[in-house]
Amino acid sequence: MIFALIIKEFLAILKDPKSRFVLIGPPIIQLFVFGYGATFDLNHVPIAVYDEANSVESRQLIARFEASPAFSRKITLMHQQQIAKVLDNKDVLAVIHIHPQFDRDLALGKTVNIQIIIDGRDSNTALIALSYMQTILAKYNLAMAQQYHTPRPAARLQIRAWFNPDLNSQWFIVTGIIGLLTLVVTILVTALSVAREREQGTFDQLLVTPMTPFQILLGKAIPGLIIGLIEASFIIFMAVFWFNIPFIGHLSALYLGVFLFVFSVIGVGLMISSICVTQQQGLLGAFLFIVPAVILSGFATPIANMPPLVQDFTLINPLRYFLVIVRGVFLEGLPAEVLFNQYWPLALISLVTLSLAAWLFRHRIY
């Protein structure tokens, strides 16, 4: 009987052009939009230069900025007053201001000041741009010290980024998408399934068959599980073979996580479904869950930066655990034993949401 339900559920989803699109369209679109569009790396950030010294040395320094792929000089300023204008208009992100005394101070062996005026409205971008600029200046200092035989800085930072040597943010984002898209698709499929039947009046017809509510619930959960697994596998495949994200861990450790994660999401989806009467309500319910779940997951902003109360709140968010698992397995190659502390909360969440869904299902049938 459950087998028949599963077949029926798949037919109902696949024969309806709209729900078929939900399964195929958004995942592919989102994968590419996020994969290429969402990045923390800076490229060709427009800057302006106000070079009052206008000497060989100053131009050498500016050339170092221009040589970096992160920046490109868009405007050359002539007056002090222009600075405010180009920043206000967002023509450039930052202005590099070199004072007239630049050569003289340099020749005298004094430390010269270079002023950087940066647009702080987008604090995240400003910080990243600043750190790039500091790196450029540090290299410049070193070259100067060699050239003029001045004492070199006493200590120098030597940075090596583990797991992501180039600090390529695509590695971070695409691994996050695996969790994000699996969440969206699975929750939509399950949250709409019962609501769709209620809307079309087929739910009563289903309830008068000898199947028990538990069997019906199972018949709704298993298609969700299968679809969630296929969806996740597709994105994992794309991450490895299209985006070339290194996969150094074990598939088994990853799939244990996928499995538990999809289960917990199905529980939430079915809970939404058993409360809602129309598909519209189901859709609304799904998004009420998805948006906070993504924001409070560490998908983009680290959980560690959140206020303590919010941090505690993220403990009930299944995506939080799953993102640790995906990134851990992909980039760090973590084995299943180490991820145990991520698995058991997911298993617990699944158990709670599925039982709640079953309870709601029995009590909201009428």
Q: In angstroms, what is the minimal distance from the CB of 226 to other proteins?
A: 18
193: nearest Cα among 219, 166, 167, 162: 219
Site string for other proteins, 166-205 (x = CB under 8 A): ----------------------------------xxx-xx
Q: In angstroms, what is the minimal distance from the CB of 206 to other proteins?
A: 7
Q: In angstroms, what is the minimal distance from the CB of 21 to other proteins?
A: 14
124: nearest Cα among 13, 193, 40: 40
Site membership for other proteins, residue 5 (CB under 8 A): yes
In the bound state with other proteins, the residue whose beta carbon lies nearer, of 8 and 59, is 8
Tell me which of 7, 145, 248, 315 binds other proteins, using CB under 8 A. Answer: 7
Site membership for other proteins, residue 278 (CB under 8 A): no
Site membership for other proteins, residue 206 (CB under 8 A): yes
Site membership for other proteins, residue 16 (CB under 8 A): yes
Site membership for other proteins, residue 29 (CB under 8 A): no
Tell me which of 207, 240, 306, 356 binds other proteins, using CB under 8 A. Answer: 207
Question: Judged by CB under 8 A, which stretch of 12-20, 82-90, 99-107, 309-317 contacts other proteins?
Answer: 12-20
356: nearest Cα among 271, 261, 265, 266: 271
Q: Are 144 and 150 in contact (CB under 8 A)?
A: yes
Instruction: Look at strands 114-118 and 94-98 and give their pairing.
Output: antiparallel
Tell me which of 37, 151, 210, 308 binds other proteins, using CB under 8 A. Answer: 210
User: Which residues is 75 bridged to in the sheet?
Assistant: 48
Q: Are 57 and 74 in contact (CB under 8 A)?
A: no
Q: Are 243 and 333 in contact (CB under 8 A)?
A: no
How is the chain split among helix, strand and coil, in percent rounded to 5? 65, 5, 25
In the bound state with other proteins, the residue whose beta carbon lies nearer, of 216 and 349, is 216
Site membership for other proteins, residue 130 (CB under 8 A): no
Tell me which of 15, 79, 156, 160 binds other proteins, using CB under 8 A. Answer: 15
Please give the Cα distance from 302 to 293 (Å, whole number): 13
Q: How many CB atoms within 10 Å of residue 232?
A: 27
3-state secondary structure 122-154: CHHHHHHHHHHHHHHHHHHHHHHHHHHCCCCCC
In the bound state with other proteins, the residue whose beta carbon lies nearer, of 41 and 204, is 204
Site membership for other proteins, residue 209 (CB under 8 A): yes
In the bound state with other proteins, the residue whose beta carbon lies nearer, of 129 and 189, is 189
Site membership for other proteins, residue 277 (CB under 8 A): no
157 class by beta-carbon count within 10 Å (0-12 exposed, 13-18 middle, 19+ buried): exposed
Q: In angstroms, what is the minimal distance from the CB of 215 to other proteins?
A: 9
- Which backbone phi and psi does 56 adopt, to 5 degrees? -60, -45
State whether residue 116 is helix, strand or coil.
Answer: strand
Amino acid at 285: G
Q: In angstroms, what is the minimal distance from the CB of 209 to other proteins?
A: 4
Please give the Cα distance from 349 to 253 (Å, whole number): 19
Please give the Cα distance from 23 to 19 (Å, whole number): 7
Q: In angstroms, what is the minimal distance from the CB of 225 to other proteins?
A: 20
In the bound state with other proteins, the residue whose beta carbon lies nearer, of 15 and 156, is 15
Q: In angstroms, what is the minimal distance from the CB of 27 to other proteins?
A: 22
In the bound state with other proteins, the residue whose beta carbon lies nearer, of 203 and 247, is 203
Site membership for other proteins, residue 351 (CB under 8 A): no
42 class by beta-carbon count within 10 Å (0-12 exposed, 13-18 middle, 19+ buried): middle
Interface with other proteins (CB under 8 A): 1, 3-5, 7-8, 11-12, 15-16, 200-202, 204-212, 365-366
